[in-house]
Amino acid sequence: MRSEEVNGILVAAHDLKAPLAVMRQLALALDLADDQPTRQRIQSQLVSVSERAMHQVNDLAKIARLEDGLFEMEPISVRNLCDEVARELHPLFHYKNRRLDLSYSNRSRLAIANHDLLHSVVYNFCTNAIHYSNQDTASRLSVIDFQDKIRVSVRDFGPALPSKIWRQLRQGTFRTPTSIAMRPGSSGLGLYISSEFARHMRAQLGVIRHRDGTSFFIDLPVSTQTSLFI
């Protein structure tokens, strides 16, 4: 096995281990809960954290099946999909005292993508942003028209990405999960998953460096089919 593959497995294992440690603490904390509302809160936190972990495991399984033709491309309402992700992640943002603002200004409503894969990309962008915002700095999920594409981006307030990873993303050569020293809250696994899914959808994944954070985006081809879902 090549050393970069071993490193990739280590990074994935580390990323999957983190929610397990939190779930274990939550399970132990149930014993300390004096009242029903506290118990309910801990149970909801357990559900949220385990769902997030399951998402990551499912995404890794999807990568192995990308070439099997299981993920067909179709016209997708990007706004609906973003709403779906935001709804799904609302409890996790809430329990982590974070906020996700939505901002949609795209005129083209439909993109060509695979629903499952795009959902995972947006989900990964958003969960990554949880690490890099605080109560004062809300993350922002935006959908805009960008040239002849629809751009879905998530802005966070974390440290800048190292130049090497930024370059790899621009060149489409980000092929293994890589730990990102400047961003200890995330291992780069979500970014690796997103880049693989973007490649499969022939979409462009990219990063914009801001003075006080980073925006991760995916540019999707616009569908010319008239939307029935608007």
Partner 1 sequence: MSATPYTFFIIEDDPIMAECIARACSRIVPPTSQSPDNPKTDSQSIISPAPKIQIFSDTVSAINALDDGLPDLILLDVLLNGPDGFTFLNEIISYPDSARIPVIIITSLNLSPRRLSHYGVRAILNKETMTPAEIQTVIQCAIGAREEP
| From candidates 1, 2, 3, 31, binder to partner 1 by CB under 8 A | 31
Determine the Cα–Cα distance for residues 216 and 152; give it in Å rounded to an integer: 8
| From candidates 9, 28, 54, 57, binder to partner 1 by CB under 8 A | 28
Among the candidate windows 25-33, 69-77, 105-113, 195-203, which touches partner 1 by CB under 8 A? Answer: 25-33
Report the relative pairing of strands 139-146 and 100-104 from DSSP bridges: parallel
* CB neighbours of residue 207 within 10 Å: 16
Which pair of tokens denotes residue 100? 């996700």
Binding-residue pattern over the window 35 to 54 for partner 1, x denoting contact by CB under 8 A: ----------x---x-----
| From candidates 97, 103, 225, 227, binder to partner 1 by CB under 8 A | 97
Smallest distance, partner 1 to C-beta of residue 26, A: 6
Task: Pick the closest to residue 100 from 82, 80, 81, 116 (CA basis).
Answer: 82
Residue numbers 177-216 binding partner 1 by CB under 8 A: 183-185
Smallest distance, partner 1 to C-beta of residue 203, A: 29
Give me the half-sphere count of Cα atoms (radius 13 Å) on the Cβ side of residue 176: 12
Smallest distance, partner 1 to C-beta of residue 98, A: 8
Query: With 0-12 CB in 10 A as exposed, 13-18 as middle and 19+ as buried, what is 121?
Result: buried
Determine the Cα–Cα distance for residues 137 and 157; give it in Å rounded to an integer: 7
Choice between 23 and 66, CB closer to partner 1: 23
Residue numbers 55-94 binding partner 1 by CB under 8 A: none
Return the bridge partners of 150, or none. 145, 220
Between the CA atoms of 117, 123, 128 and 133, what dihedral angle is there, to the nearest 10 degrees? 150
165 binds partner 1 (CB under 8 A): no
| From candidates 96, 109, 140, 151, binder to partner 1 by CB under 8 A | 96
Determine the Cα–Cα distance for residues 45 and 32; give it in Å rounded to an integer: 15
Smallest distance, partner 1 to C-beta of residue 183, A: 7
131 binds partner 1 (CB under 8 A): yes
26 binds partner 1 (CB under 8 A): yes
Tell me the C-alpha to C-alpha distance, in Å, between residue 99 and each of 90, 113, 130, 140. 8, 27, 8, 8
Binding site for partner 1 (CB under 8 A): 17-18, 20-22, 24-26, 28-29, 31-33, 45, 49, 95-97, 131-132, 134, 158-159, 183-185
